[in-house]
Amino acid sequence: MLNSRFQNTFLPGVIVAIALVLFGWILVPAERVVPVLAAIAILIIYGAVVWFATPGIEKLNPAILSIAIECGLIAGLIFVSEIILEYVLLPKDNTTFGLIEFGSVFFIYFLSGLITALQTKNIRNGVLSAIWTAMIATLMWAIAVLAMDYLFRGTPQQTKVFQAEGNYADFAQSGMTNFNAFIMEDFMGAVFYHSLLGPMLAALFGLIGGLIGRGISKVRSK
């Protein structure tokens, strides 16, 4: 069954992400434990949602999960590609990269809702598909961003990436005295907020796509 295959892939990904969070905490103990615990908690919630809700989603309509997996992988690859390209191309300012990255991902969330609503003739299904799309993409982002940080830790490439992202300026304004601890807390906070806000924004874009998709399906049925 699709939901079982999805669970068997997604849940190990959650475990990998949690392991990367814990590894970072051991590597560079954060000055505050709250960001670390928050990152772990949101990842556990992701795992629990997928474990308990996925069978119901597939029972509701198999197209929801099927479309979400395809769109989630595409959105996730966009996230991962942007993270890798930052370290390869080393732009002086990654604002443009970020705008293209998130603009493309939000469009994928919209498409997920649109396509699902078109196929199922149901707006709610479009919203659910977009949310699941975001969860898949966000988990891929979390694994990639932490892995790349550890892989390039202390390298000239990472210094240039941090400069492009404004990390040094943010550190100067943070009041903290340990840059490595600041960066680790920043990444843990990013994992939490990205994971929290991603599905919320996806629900919005999925709703827009769902409304359009339902409208198109009504026109076609006349």
Q: For the whole model, what pTM was predicted?
A: 0.94
Burial 164-176 (b: 16+ CB within 10 A, else e): bbebeeebeeeeb
Torsion of CA 172, 175, 177, 178, to 10 degrees: -80
Instruction: Name the least confident of 12-16, 82-86, 88-92.
Output: 88-92
113 closest CA partner among 103, 124, 104 = 124
Q: What are the phi and psi torsion angles at 155 (to 5°)?
A: -90, 160
Tokens 């009041």 sit at which residue?
175
Which comes out higher in pLDDT, residue 208 or 172? 208
Residues in the chain: 222
Q: What distance in Å separates the CA atoms of residue 210 and residue 125, rounded to the nearest whole number? A: 8
Q: pLDDT tens digits for 62-74?
A: 999 999 999 999 9
Which comes out higher in pLDDT, residue 196 or 91? 196
Average pLDDT of the chain to the nearest whole number: 93
Asked if residue 122 lies in contact with residue 187, where contact means CB atoms within 8 angstroms, the answer is no
Q: What distance in Å separates the CA atoms of residue 67 and residue 126, rounded to the nearest whole number? A: 10
User: Which amino acid is present at 180?
Assistant: N
The answer on pLDDT for 134 being more than 80 is yes
Helical segments of 61-94, H only: 62-89
User: What does the block give as tokens for 13?
Assistant: 């990904």
Average pLDDT over residues 207-219: 91
**In 133-197, at which residue ranges do the beta strands (DSSP E only) sit?**
none
User: What does the block give as tokens for 90?
Assistant: 């080393």
For position 77, what pLDDT does the model report? 98
Q: How far does CA 169 lie from the centroid of its chain?
A: 25
User: What does the block give as tokens for 33?
Assistant: 């434990």
CB atoms within 10 A of CB 118: 21
For position 108, what pLDDT does the model report? 98
Host H or E run for residue 11: helix 2-27
Q: What distance in Å separates the CA atoms of residue 116 and residue 11, rounded to the nearest whole number? A: 24
For position 31, what pLDDT does the model report? 67
Q: What are the phi and psi torsion angles at 105 (to 5°)?
A: -65, -45
The answer on pLDDT for 78 being more than 90 is yes
